[in-house]
Chains A and B, each alone.
Chain A
Amino acid sequence: MNFILTSVIALGAIALISSVVLYLVSKKFAVNEDPRIGTVSELLPGANCGGCGFAGCSGMACALVAGADNGSIEGLRCPVGGGEVMEKIADTLGMAASSSEPLVAVVRCNGTCDNRPRIAEYDGLHTCAAVNSTSAGETECGYGCLGCGDCVGVCQFDAIHMNPETCLPEVDEEKCTSCGACVKACPRNIIELRKKGPDGHRVYVQCVNKDKGAVAKKACSVACIGCGKCEKVCQSDAITIENNLSYIDFNKCSVCTKCVDECPTGAIVKINFTIKKEAEVEA
Chain B
Amino acid sequence: MRLHTFKIGGVHPEENKITAEIETRNAALPKVAIFPLGQHIGAPAKPVVKRGDVVKVGTLIAEAGGFVSAPIYSSVSGTVAKIDTSIDATGYRKPVIIINVEGDEWEDGIDRSEKIESIAEHPELTPENISDTIKKSGITGMGGAGFPTFIKLCPPPTAKAECVIINGVECEPYITSDYRLMMEHAEEVIVGLQLLMKATKVERGYIGIEENKPEAIKLLTQLTADDSRIEIVELAQKYPQGGEKQLVDAVMNRQVPAPPAIPVNVGAIVQNVGTAYAVYQAVMKHKPLFERYTTVTGKQVKNPGNYLVRMGTTFAELIRACGGMPEGDNKVLAGGPMMGKSVMSLDVPVTKGTNSITILSGDDAHRKAMQPCIRCGKCVEVCPMGLEPYLLATLSANKLYERMENEGATSCMSCGSCQFTCPSHRPILDNILQGKGVVMGMIKARNVKK
Contacts and interface: CB of A to CB of B under 8 A. Distances in A.
B415 to A, nearest CB: 16
B91 A215 contact: no
16 contacts: A119-B344, A120-B91, A120-B345, A123-B366, A125-B434, A130-B433, A133-B434, A133-B437, A134-B430, A134-B433, A134-B434, A135-B90, A135-B342, A140-B91, A211-B93, A215-B93
Nearest to A129: B434
Contacts of B85: 211-212, 215
A120 B366 CA distance: 12
Interface of B: 85, 87, 90-93, 329, 341-342, 344-345, 366-367, 427, 430-431, 433-434, 437
B382 to A, nearest CB: 20
Contacts of B87: 136, 140
Contacts of A102: none
Nearest to A211: B93
Given A124-B367, A135-B90, A137-B91, A130 B430 contact: yes
A127 interface: yes
A125 B431 contact: yes
B307 to A, nearest CB: 24
Given A134-B90, A135-B90, A140 B430 contact: no
A133 B93 CA distance: 14
Of all A-B residue pairs in the complex, the 7 with the closest CB atoms, nearest first, are A136-B91, A125-B430, A120-B344, A125-B427, A130-B434, A142-B92, A135-B91
Given A119-B345, A120-B344, A142 B434 contact: no
Best-buried of A129, A140, A211, A215 by chain B (most CB within 10 Å):
A129
Contacts of B342: 135
Given A119-B345, A136-B344, A124 B430 contact: yes
A121 B332 CA distance: 12
B437 A140 contact: no
Interface string A114-151: 00000111011101011001111110101000000000
A211 B344 CA distance: 18
A134 B343 CA distance: 10
A137 B437 CA distance: 17
A212 B84 CA distance: 10
A108 to B, nearest CB: 19
A272 B430 CA distance: 40
A68 B242 CA distance: 65
B345 to A, nearest CB: 7
The listed residue with most A CB atoms (<10 A of its CB), out of B90, B344, B345, is B344
Among B90, B345, B434, chain A packs the most CB atoms within 10 A around the CB of: B434
Nearest to A122: B344
Contact of A133 (B341, B345, B367, B433): B433
Contact of B427 (A124, A129, A138): A124
A270 to B, nearest CB: 30
A142 B433 CA distance: 19
B359 to A, nearest CB: 14
Given A119-B344, A120-B91, A124-B427, 14 more contacts: A120-B344, A130-B434, A133-B433, A133-B434, A134-B341, A134-B433, A134-B434, A135-B90, A136-B92, A136-B344, A137-B91, A140-B87, A142-B91, A211-B93
